[in-house]
A and B are shown apart, each in its own frame.
Chain A
Amino acid sequence: MSNAANTRISEPQGIDMVFYRIKKNFTSVDPYLTVFGIFLWLFAYWVLCEGLQIWRFSKLPGPVAISKDWFAFEPFQGISIFTQEYYEHIRVSCQRILIAFGLATGLGVPLGLFMGWSRKVRDYVFPIIETLRPIPILAWVPLSILLLPGFEGPVIFLATLASFFVTALNAMLGVDSIDEEYFRAAGCLGSSKWDVFKNVVVPGALPFIFTGLQISIGVAWFSLVAAEMVSGDLGLGYLIVDAYMNNVTVPMVIAMITLGFIGYFSSGCVRALGNKLMAWHVKELAQQGR
């Protein structure tokens, strides 16, 4: 009896599970829509730039020209998946993002949590943050070059700064969003302040924190590329400006598309980490049919 019940609810394990997921993914309608959408975009792009060569668009490299160079052993304009240089730019940008995003998260999350948790900390810090936050990241460029030596310092500083504000603010709002009753319940149950912080403040703010982190990694890429364009010696942002200056348009577009893919991948990683840490939240949403 119990055996029969077990086999009925058993789900595929290990490698079977992987196959099952792949099969399920390809038998559902979603991937076809995605693939169709991509082709539609590429086709429109091709028509504008290469097919009809419409005014101004004829100056841009079309999808055929780009893919010819991108996948060539000896690219005409210098950048392809077989050149060392391409990966060097990617590596440098990714490394900077890792440092900047790590710094912004490491500083922003605790600061935001403390701002949300303690009135005092908020009164000290919040007005300053709110004053600095609206200053556009490009306005910080001269100051950061004056302040920090070399190429790396200013670039990382600028990328960190932008995502730091987003992270801190979201963590603070996350604490604000926690229902007062959880604090009361924790108090009743005999929690110390530190227990409340660990068991109510941090987990309660996590959904907001991760929303913030997803935005902040995007903002980090955004400001990193801006910074690399102004002050840099390597990196995808530098590659874009450098290509433009040298009047080679293909590497410019390759760098842009690469940025898109890496950005997508990095926010996907943040999302996956969030879902792993917040199983309760994911299940709660699933229960509501989302």
Chain B
Amino acid sequence: MAKKTSKTAKKGEISIKNVTKVYDPTGVNVMAVDNCSMEIAGGEVCMIVGPSGCGKTTLLNSIAGFHSITEGSIHLDGELLCGPGKPKAEQSAERMVVFQHGALFPWKTLQENVAYGPTVQKAMSASEAMDKAGHMLADAGLGSFITKFPGEVSSGMARRAEIVRALINNPKVLLLDEPYRAMDALTKQIMHESLLETYDRTGVTIFFITHDLEEAIFLGDKVHVVTTRPCQLKKTIEVKIPRPRSFETQSSEEFRKLLVEVNDAVHEEAVKAFKAGEREMA
């Protein structure tokens, strides 16, 4: 697999070992993740697919440090993020999250949003951060929108700006939670190309949750199919399509074959999830 080395020497190796998460919101224990293990190499694009509500986001939240875990451990580059005696990871700019519904601050312009991270971390002075933010947004094709508020630009632009906001911090890992959900196919295409381009440039490790199987194969080095709740790793499918990939890749024989393989694995889980849902309703 052709992989470009990143400019800054960072790894971003995530190792998830036997992680279990039990929610107890109303006295009824709900097991969201059960003994789930996964190894994600540094600089890998790791796609997580699985039925709705299966605990994928719980896994992401545990890595990001939004949730605690009940058992198991998560390491980043050999360092313990969370595990025995430390149920909740600290939030840090080395693990940047791009949220499902978008979380650019609506009260800041795109440029102020991007400059926010380095400014509060005191990695740059406010004016340096604003300069760099302006340049990075321009590189992402948003040069003429830097003084706009997120509410004034399209959802695709906002999402691109959000990824820029994450990348300006030089994260080791980018955690994306269905970032392109509810986007039309054309916008999605552009988003994918832009993300792949970003990845080729930075080599950041990407942990990407999605429902879209074509997206998973097109972007990923590995596609991890997870089971319905509680979330466990069901199957890992390696995508050996060489990079850089373009949208023609999606019509190749190899791509189609992988799609069938992933689809089979996911479909079984989706049916189970559906039936479990029916049981809960009954």
Contact = CB atoms under 8 A, between A and B. Distances in A.
B29 to A, nearest CB: 23
A21 interface: no
Given A181-B103, A199-B116, A206-B107, A188 B151 contact: no
Interface stretch (B88-96, B206-214, B251-259): B88-96
Given A184-B66, A187-B91, A280 B103 contact: no
Interface in B52-94: 64-66, 91-93
Nearest to B97: A188
A184 B64 contact: yes
A184 B120 contact: no
A179 interface: yes
B201 interface: no
Contacts of A278: 107
Nearest to B102: A181
A16 B101 CA distance: 42
Interface in A190-206: 190-192, 195, 199-200, 203-204, 206
A265 B117 CA distance: 41
A287 B149 CA distance: 11
B236 interface: no
A151 interface: no
Contact of A185 (B97, B121, B149, B152): B97
Contacts of B23: none
Q: Which of A181, A190, A200, A279 counts the most B-chain CB atoms under 10 A from its CB? A: A190
Interface residues of B, number: 27
B99 interface: yes
Contacts of A128: none
Contacts of B99: 181, 184-185
Interface in B93-122: 93, 95-97, 99, 101, 103-108, 116-117, 120-121
B169 interface: yes
A189 interface: yes
Contacts of B165: 189
B64 A188 contact: yes
Contacts of B106: 280-281, 284
Contacts, number: 76
A188 B101 contact: no
Please report whether the interface of chain B is mostly helix, strand, loop or mixed according to DSSP: loop
Nearest to B99: A181
Nearest to B92: A190
Nearest to A185: B103
Given A184-B97, A190-B92, A190-B93, A280 B121 contact: no
Contacts of A188: 64, 91-93, 95-97, 166
A199 B117 CA distance: 11
Please report whether the interface of chain A is mostly helix, strand, loop or mixed according to DSSP: helix
Given A199-B105, A200-B105, A189 B151 contact: no
B151 A284 contact: yes
A181 B60 CA distance: 14
Contacts of A186: 105
Interface in A28-86: none
A113 to B, nearest CB: 15
Nearest to B151: A284
Contacts of A284: 106, 149, 151-152
Interface in A159-203: 179, 181-182, 184-192, 195, 199-200, 203
Nearest to A206: B107
B224 to A, nearest CB: 23
A281 B108 CA distance: 10
B65 A187 contact: yes
Given A184-B99, A280-B149, A283-B152, A190 B107 contact: no
A283 B149 contact: yes
A101 B96 CA distance: 43
Interface in A235-290: 278-281, 283-284, 287
Contact of B151 (A181, A199, A200, A280): A280
Nearest to B149: A280
Contacts of A199: 105, 108, 116, 120
Given A187-B65, A190-B93, A191-B120, A182 B149 contact: no
A195 B117 CA distance: 11
B11 to A, nearest CB: 19
25 contacts: A179-B103, A182-B103, A184-B91, A184-B97, A184-B99, A184-B103, A185-B99, A188-B64, A188-B166, A189-B96, A190-B91, A190-B93, A190-B120, A190-B169, A192-B120, A199-B105, A199-B108, A199-B120, A203-B107, A279-B149, A280-B106, A280-B151, A281-B107, A283-B149, A283-B152
Top 10 nearest A-B pairs (CB, nearest first) are A284-B151, A203-B107, A187-B91, A189-B117, A185-B103, A190-B121, A181-B103, A280-B149, A190-B93, A195-B120
